[in-house]
Amino acid sequence: MDALAGRARFDPAEVEAGIIARWIQSGLFHPEPGGDSADAYAIAIPPPNVTGSLHMGHALNGSVQDVLVRYHRMRGIRTKWILGTDHAGIATQMQVEKALRAEGSSRREIGREAFVERVWEWREHYGGTIVEQLKRLGASCDYSEERFTLDEPYARAVAEVFVALHEKGLIYRDRYIVNWDPGTRSAISDLEVEEREETDTLYSIRYDLDGGGSVTIATVRPETMLGDTAVAVNPEDARYGDLVGRTAILPLIGRRLPVIADDYVKSDFGTGQLKITPAHDPNDFEIGRRHGLPQVSVIGEDGRMTAEAGAPYAGLTVMEARAAVIAALEAEGRVVGSEPYLHSVPYSHRSGERIEPLISLQWFMRMDELARPAIEAVQSGAVRIVPESQRKVYLEWMAEIRPWCISRQLWWGHRLPVYYCDSCGGEHVARLAPQSCPECGGALRQEEDVLDTWFSSALWPFATLGWPEDTPQLRAFYPTNVLSTARDILFLWVARMIMMGIELTGRPPFRDVYIHAIIQAPDGRRMSKSLGTGIDPLGLIDGGPRPPVFGDGSHPPGSFPAYGADALRWGLLSMASSQDVRFSEERIAQGQALSNKLYNAVRFALTRIDEQPEVDLQSLCPQPLPLTVEDRWMLSRLQRITVQTTAMIEGYDFSHAALGLYDFVYGELCDWYIEMSKHRLAAGGEGARELAATLLHVLRHTVALAHPIIPFVTEELWGHLGGEGLLAGAEWPRPADELIDEEAERQVSRVIEAVTLVRGWRDSVAARPGQLVPARIAAEGYEETGAALARLARLELASGNGAGPVPVAAVSVPGGTIEVLSEDGLDLHAAQRRREAESARLATEIERVQAKLANERFVQRAPDAVVQAEREKLARLQGEMEAL
């Protein structure tokens, strides 16, 4: 109590660290594995990059998951939030390479072994920040068991999966066209490619035909013509039917190119005659395979032209070669046209460089067989995707899934468990590295490539629990209940987890997939460090730099105030309702206001109760005592908000859960219940004692309901309210049907309306705020609430009925009027304008309702209840008009 007495504001900075420590120390976040997963609740966190730091997406997703986890823990369910980090192959390797460059070195200079060593050191140094940041957010992860996708047990799971899928024939090696990223010098998967609209020059080039005539092809990549092995037209294209089977001569090179027919060729693009470069265009590659065309690779993995491109071009960069090829063609008079052309160009999501499609020897995973049961799982509802709209996105992508290039020419990651024998040329895939070639005894060398990071991430929900061993953890927590993430990794990660989970464990890895909203910068762009549109969530908790886009108009931009973790959580959750939403600092401020409001409500209750000589706080038993109408109303509303909040959380509607609590705390608990019942505390005695019991009950219940969303302030207040143990481990409030009281709800909502109307009237007659206005209630339905009406509207009620002074004014309220008995200190004249406005409004309303009721078709066809309601409304409005 004393701790609260002097402090008018809740100060998150003062209590957050201590509360986190108590939570973690309590062991509440670490459930002992036991029993069956059907009785448990588990969420596997999307593992953040080990060297990353918390961004707004993590903060939102962390808040979402923590609401779910805290709620279920309070329901008494054995609850585990599986924590860990991802080695994030390319991202991490690029960070370390950047550091090496700054030192004037490179990974190639120091060699693979030293480089990998260096990355581990980097991880030791910079890793783990994000886990500490999650603690600051209040995330109730199981910090005692942190996983890492490159840890030894995890690596065993990865090798096991590779070998198993290889044995099934799903993993294979192939020379295939891949997305080559010259920036990382590695192949990347289709999903890591980002298409960007760009304007290039579309050249039209004339190829002569053997035996006379010519074809004209259109291309934005003339340098690739050096690798052409055919010319194609659409088989339906009447113009060119006679060309098929003839031979074109490749300019500059002289190679003879068959003219073929293929459906892929669009007759209305360019001339309808297409050059085919199987080695450098994914579509041409497919056409080449269909027609058995040779593949001529003219661009190498270094992004330069190869020897096969021919002497003048070998060694040139792609752009140099383009200029040289065009110059040579122009010299021959073969460029018959050029025009600007807008098209989409593939870029590497990783390095930002332009993708160079080329043929490379890589490892692939065939996905169609794995996709089938994963599609079925979602179709049957075994896996639910929320919101529903994302379900279709998933199903459509899965239906057209393509092989996944899983090898990466990187050094940081899981090296493929493939061993080559140089003596006999054998290839061995094994869980444990063989000492020598099982066939000839020769020396073995392990595949240099590592696996795509997402390969190991795909195993996350079960590999973190000890799979492939049959561990107690696995039995206790797998399958997990929910996977929460943003939609940008639905394919990259979620779909692959579902496929791998079903394939390897026989069960989908989670029951629900919750796809949360993406929070954009205030200007509508995505939040990103590189765009300058990102903010550090901790800067909102502790106070931190405010980027210009988040400016409050001041120059220079200045900083964010320290809002505290609860404010951040409430704000983010309240924002994230529709698909994309712009960050609004006001919502964070609103969350802070809510925390403070709750804090002060509790502070008020406790300090007032403590002042009562008759009331001993320690022995007081908080319980619902529905004595007065406002008690009954409050307790009834409390049941409703309980049902509502529970349903919102269960339905993943966090925004409405957060906003609903705000409305309850401000609009019902503080503005009305506390205001209506204050005087009973001041009066003391038995009434004060009874009220105290109810008020404390209501506060405890409210604080518990709000805990999953704003855990810090509620945990702090729980202690002051005499709650047993930690609120994080307390029981989730249950609604009590017997406390629902619709009559009390009607009465109190009526008095609320009346108080508001009288206050508005007071304002219009310039009554001083504190002035008691003599009045009489000439309205029905205020038998139990009249005293409250008088107190809150500052009226001095005349005793007796009918007799007494003649009213000087009447304020229309539900059920009648409030008659004002004295004009002392009131400017009744000033109320004239208000009356006129009100009268005009009523007249319009009455007219509309009358017109409606005069409409025969309305009276005939609308439901009786609606018609009846309109009639009652008309009567009410006319009554109000008369009162004026």
Partner RNA sequence: GGGCGCAUAGCUCAGUGGGAGAGCGCUCGCUUCACACGCGAGAGGUCCCUGGUUCGAGCCCAGGUGCGCCCA
Angle of helix 585-611 relative to helix 654-664, nearest 10 degrees? 40
Under the binding rule (CB under 7 A), the answer on residue 549 touching RNA is: no
Q: Among residue numbers 417 through 456, which ones bind RNA (CB under 7 A)?
A: none
Q: Of the two residues 296 and 809, which places its CB atom closer to RNA in the complex? A: 809
Q: Among residue numbers 185 through 204, which ones bind RNA (CB under 7 A)?
A: 190-191, 195
Tell which residue, 295, 392, 389, 302, has the closest CA to residue 353: 302
| 630, amino acid identity | E
Part of the chain binding RNA (CB under 7 A), chosen from 80-88, 450-458, 571-579, 619-627: 571-579
Under the binding rule (CB under 7 A), the answer on residue 389 touching RNA is: yes
- How many alpha carbons lie under 13 Å from residue 496 in its C-beta half-sphere? 21
Under the binding rule (CB under 7 A), the answer on residue 721 touching RNA is: no
| Residue from 126, 341, 420, 666 in contact with RNA (CB under 7 A) | 666
Q: Tell me, by CB under 7 A, how many residues bind RNA.
A: 75
| Residue from 22, 397, 438, 807 in contact with RNA (CB under 7 A) | 397
Q: Please state the closest distance from residue 389 (CB atom) to RNA, in A.
A: 5
Part of the chain binding RNA (CB under 7 A), chosen from 2-10, 66-74, 415-423, 638-646: 2-10
| 601, amino acid identity | A
| Residue from 239, 290, 582, 833 in contact with RNA (CB under 7 A) | 582
Q: Please state the closest distance from residue 398 (CB atom) to RNA, in A.
A: 11
C-alpha to C-alpha distance for 632 and 637, rounded to whole angstroms: 9
| Residue from 32, 586, 650, 836 in contact with RNA (CB under 7 A) | 586
Under the binding rule (CB under 7 A), the answer on residue 596 touching RNA is: yes
Under the binding rule (CB under 7 A), the answer on residue 215 touching RNA is: no
C-alpha to C-alpha distance for 292 and 295, rounded to whole angstroms: 9
| 879, amino acid identity | G
Give every CB contact of residue 834 below 8 A, 6+ residues apart in sequence.
760, 761, 764
Q: Please state the closest distance from residue 625 (CB atom) to RNA, in A.
A: 20
Q: Of the two residues 578 and 801, which places its CB atom closer to RNA in the complex? A: 578
Under the binding rule (CB under 7 A), the answer on residue 771 touching RNA is: no
| Residue from 75, 290, 392, 871 in contact with RNA (CB under 7 A) | 392
| Residue from 589, 617, 772, 797 in contact with RNA (CB under 7 A) | 589
| Residue from 25, 528, 756, 868 in contact with RNA (CB under 7 A) | 756
What is the distance, to the nearest Å, from the Cα of residue 411 to the centroid of all Cα atoms in its chain?
32
Question: What six digits make up the tokens of 80?
Answer: 């585990």
Q: Among residue numbers 669 through 708, which ones bind RNA (CB under 7 A)?
A: 670-671, 674-675, 678, 682
Burial code (b: 16+ CB inside 10 Å, e: under 16) for 608-640 equals bbeebeebeeeeeebebbbebbbbbbbbbbbbb
Q: Is the dihedral of CA 39, 41, 42, 43 positive or negative?
A: positive
Per-residue H/E/C for 256-319: EEEEEECCCCCCCCCCCEEEECCCCCHHHHHHHHHHCCCCCCCECCCCEECHHHCCCCCCCEHH
DSSP 339-389: EEEEEEEEEETTT-PBPEEEEEEEEEE--HHHHHHHHHHHHTTSSEEESTH
Q: Which strands, in side-by-side order, build the sheet including 78-85?
A: 146-148, 78-85, 40-44, 480-486, 510-516, 384-386
| Residue from 1, 331, 830, 837 in contact with RNA (CB under 7 A) | 837
Under the binding rule (CB under 7 A), the answer on residue 354 touching RNA is: no
C-alpha to C-alpha distance for 616 and 606, rounded to whole angstroms: 11
Q: Of the two residues 331 and 869, which places its CB atom closer to RNA in the complex? A: 869
Angle of helix 565-575 relative to helix 56-74, nearest 10 degrees? 100
Q: Of the two residues 330 and 586, which places its CB atom closer to RNA in the complex? A: 586
| 696, amino acid identity | L
| Residue from 398, 465, 515, 581 in contact with RNA (CB under 7 A) | 581
Part of the chain binding RNA (CB under 7 A), chosen from 126-134, 367-375, 393-401, 426-434: 393-401
| 439, amino acid identity | E
How long is the chain?
884
| Residue from 8, 440, 531, 843 in contact with RNA (CB under 7 A) | 8
Q: Please state the closest distance from residue 350 (CB atom) to RNA, in A.
A: 14
Q: Among residue numbers 636 through 655, which ones bind RNA (CB under 7 A)?
A: 655
Q: Among residue numbers 508 through 527, which ones bind RNA (CB under 7 A)?
A: 520, 522, 524, 526
Give every CB contact of residue 647 below 8 A, 6+ residues apart in sequence.
none
Q: Among residue numbers 471 through 510, which ones bind RNA (CB under 7 A)?
A: 487-488, 491
Give every CB contact of residue 826 below 8 A, 6+ residues apart in sequence.
765, 766, 767, 773, 809, 820
Q: Of the two residues 670 and 798, which places its CB atom closer to RNA in the complex? A: 670
Q: Of the two residues 211 and 340, which places its CB atom closer to RNA in the complex? A: 340
Under the binding rule (CB under 7 A), the answer on residue 603 touching RNA is: yes
C-alpha to C-alpha distance for 51 and 127, rounded to whole angstroms: 5
Q: Of the two residues 111 and 879, which places its CB atom closer to RNA in the complex? A: 879
Q: Please state the closest distance from residue 715 (CB atom) to RNA, in A.
A: 18
| 165, amino acid identity | L
Q: Please state the closest distance from residue 868 (CB atom) to RNA, in A.
A: 11
Part of the chain binding RNA (CB under 7 A), chosen from 6-14, 136-144, 153-161, 772-780: 6-14
What is the distance, to the nearest Å, from the Cα of residue 790 to the centroid of all Cα atoms in its chain?
48
Write the interaction track for RNA spanning residues 838-877; mark x where CB under 7 A is met and - where it is not: -------x------x--x-xx--xxx--x--x---x--xx
Question: Taking the CB of residue 338, how many other CB atoms lie within 10 A of it?
Answer: 15
| Contact in structure between 278 and 299 (CB atoms under 8 Å) | no
Q: Please state the closest distance from residue 757 (CB atom) to RNA, in A.
A: 8
Write the interaction track for RNA spanning residues 56-85; mark x where CB under 7 A is met and - where it is not: ------------------------------
Part of the chain binding RNA (CB under 7 A), chosen from 3-11, 126-134, 178-186, 499-507: 3-11
Under the binding rule (CB under 7 A), the answer on residue 286 touching RNA is: no
C-alpha to C-alpha distance for 824 and 663, rounded to whole angstroms: 37
Q: Please state the closest distance from residue 486 (CB atom) to RNA, in A.
A: 10
Part of the chain binding RNA (CB under 7 A), chosen from 41-49, 354-362, 369-377, 603-611: 603-611
